[in-house]
Amino acid sequence: MSTVNHTQEPLLRIAKRDGISRPSAYAIRIVAVVLSLVVSGIFIFAVTKLNPVEVYKAIFDGAFGTSRRSWVTIRDTMMLLCIGVGLAPAFKMKFWNIGAEGQVLIGGVITAGFMRAFGGSVSTPVLLVIMAVASLLAGCVWGVIPAAFKAKWGTNETLFTLMMNYVAIQITSYCVALWENPIGSNTVGVINQQTKAGWFPAVFGQAYGLNVILVLALTVGMFIYLKYSKQGYEISVVGDSQNTARYAGISVKKVTVRTMAISGAICGLAGFIAVAGASHTISTSTAGGRGFTAIIVAWLAQFNTFVMILISLLLVFLQKGAIQIASQFNLNDYASNIITGIILFFILGSEFFINYRVILRGKKEGEVK
């Protein structure tokens, strides 16, 4: 005790907030967006000597500059949203489905296969239904395999779903080689370019109208399913505590497999939308990392599928903008990625300040707002 060493009070302390009102939460988020624009503005000016306002204008142009660009932004938002909606039940159940990428691909491959095989012989509406069902089933199988293994032998779903991605990628590569067109191009090319058989028809004069309708229907449906259905309730209970689920007589295994069947099926359908409704071709990059980005979408939205619309839009908007500034100002990709990174960092970081507050040394807690 004789060694009295005076330790100082820590400079910063972090305390959990006891709830926060909705307006102040949004105020924090708005401040975060403004700050992110300021900081990336400083970065832009410091590194490139460009006028930040011009750059921001370019970002907006990239996403919504023309009607065509707007529709591409919408199309990609719907794609990301669809996968996010698919992942929501799995993650709500705390089942770490890292395999959306593979589930999308396998749904896309089967869609492309049917499109090639029956493009001439079956009418487009019938073909669309066949492809949709096939992609649902394919994604479902891809989701159920890891779920069944987990239910039966307790395997780790994170590794399992991740590895299923590679299986799907290999199958896709094989199919691309098999369906190569023209020979030597190493791609499948646009399928049924002349006949447009099996392509989404224009709805309300918009090529991507059907994408929007399908995905928004799923979004609403999933919201209701998770919030009001018995199965949705079971998912919440299993996600919160498996012991509570067992206690209440819920079969954790059954719920796991069933939920992953749904999750995988919707991701498979996303593959169908990607192929029949957007690219009309298939390659190993058809999913393009969206299976992983959608995980962020699902978690950030706390599995509220309506919030997911906003988050998907934000992510796609930033991505389109980044591409635009890269080409317009001759920046390399990294510069635009840094800008998107800064913006995302602030937006995600604001969640920390919504849940916690920081107390400076010497300040009494009561004085802090």
Partner 1 sequence: METVAAVQLRNITKRFGKVVANNSVSLDINRGEILSLLGENGSGKTTLMNMLAGIYFPDEGEILVNGQPVTIASPKDAFNYGIGMIHQHFKLVDVFTAAENIVLGLEEEGKLNLKAAAAKIDGICEKYGFQIDPNKKIYDMSVSEKQTVEIVKVLYRGADILILDEPTAVLTPQETDRLFDVMRNMKADGKAMIIITHKLHEVMDVSDRVAVLRKGKYIGDVATKDTSPQALTDMMVGHAVTLNINRPEPKDPTPRLEVSGLTVYDAMGVKRLDNVTFTAMGGEILGIAGIAGSGQKELLESVAGLQPISSGTSIRYRPIGHPEDKDGIELVGKTPLQIKQSGVSLAFVPEDRLGMGLVGTMGMTGNMLLRSYRKGHGLFTDRKAPKKLAEEVLTELDVVTPSVNFPVRRLSGGNVQKVLVGREIAQEPSVLMTAYAVRGLDINTSYTIYNLLTEQKLKGVAVVYVGEDLDVLLELCDRILVLCGGQVSGIVDARTTTKEEVGLLMTRFKKEGEPA
Please identify which residue in 51, 241, 327, 355 interacts with partner 1, judged by CB under 8 A: 241
16 is an interface residue for partner 1 by CB under 8 A: yes
Per-residue burial over 8-23, b = 16 or more CB atoms within 10 Å of its CB, e = otherwise: eeeeeeeeeeeeeeee
Please identify which residue in 170, 185, 244, 285 interacts with partner 1, judged by CB under 8 A: 244
Closest distance to partner 1 from the beta carbon of 94 (Å): 11
**Phi and psi torsions of 165, nearest 5°:** -60, -45
Please identify which residue in 64, 233, 292, 353 interacts with partner 1, judged by CB under 8 A: 233
154 is an interface residue for partner 1 by CB under 8 A: no
CA gyration radius, the chain: 24
10 is an interface residue for partner 1 by CB under 8 A: yes
Determine the length of the chain: 369
Q: Is the CB of 203 or the CB of 252 nearer to partner 1?
A: 252
Please identify which residue in 22, 67, 365, 369 interacts with partner 1, judged by CB under 8 A: 365
Q: Fill in the amino acid letter for 329.
A: F
In the chain, the largest separation of any two C-alpha atoms, in whole Å, equals: 93
24 is an interface residue for partner 1 by CB under 8 A: no
Of 11-19, 45-53, 155-163, 180-188, the segment contacting partner 1 by CB under 8 A is: 11-19
68 is an interface residue for partner 1 by CB under 8 A: no
| Three-state secondary structure call for residue 15 | strand
Yes or no: say if 149 and 160 are a contact pair by the CB < 8 Å rule.
yes
Of 26-34, 99-107, 198-206, 233-241, the segment contacting partner 1 by CB under 8 A is: 233-241
Residues 6+ apart with CB under 8 A from 314: 347
Please identify which residue in 14, 185, 240, 349 interacts with partner 1, judged by CB under 8 A: 240
Q: What are the tokens at 253?
A: 């295994």
Distance spanning both ends of the chain, measured CA to CA: 38
Interface pattern 190-229 for partner 1 (x via CB under 8 A): --------------------------------------xx
Q: Is the CB of 18 or the CB of 184 nearer to partner 1?
A: 18
Total of chain residues touching partner 1, rule CB under 8 A: 35
Q: Fill in the amino acid letter for 88.
A: A
352 is an interface residue for partner 1 by CB under 8 A: no
Please give the torsion angle defined by the CA atoms of residues 224, 225, 230 and 232, in that order, rounded to the nearest 10 degrees: -120
Q: Is the CB of 67 or the CB of 365 nearer to partner 1?
A: 365
- Measuring CA to CA, which residue among 366, 95, 60, 33 is closest to residue 242? 95
- Alpha carbon separation from 132 to 64, 76, 124, 147, 295 (Å, rounded): 30, 19, 12, 22, 23
Q: Is the CB of 88 or the CB of 278 nearer to partner 1?
A: 88
Of 4-12, 27-35, 52-60, 310-318, the segment contacting partner 1 by CB under 8 A is: 4-12
Closest distance to partner 1 from the beta carbon of 211 (Å): 27
Please identify which residue in 34, 47, 248, 358 interacts with partner 1, judged by CB under 8 A: 248
249 is an interface residue for partner 1 by CB under 8 A: yes
User: How many other C-beta atoms lie within 10 A of the C-beta of residue 60?
Assistant: 14
Please identify which residue in 8, 21, 66, 186 interacts with partner 1, judged by CB under 8 A: 8
- Alpha carbon separation from 120 to 84, 124, 345 (Å, rounded): 33, 9, 49
Q: At what angle do helices 252-274 and 124-153 cross, to 10 degrees?
A: 150
Binding site for partner 1 (CB under 8 A): 1, 3-10, 13, 15-18, 228-231, 233-234, 236-237, 240-241, 243-244, 246-251, 364-366
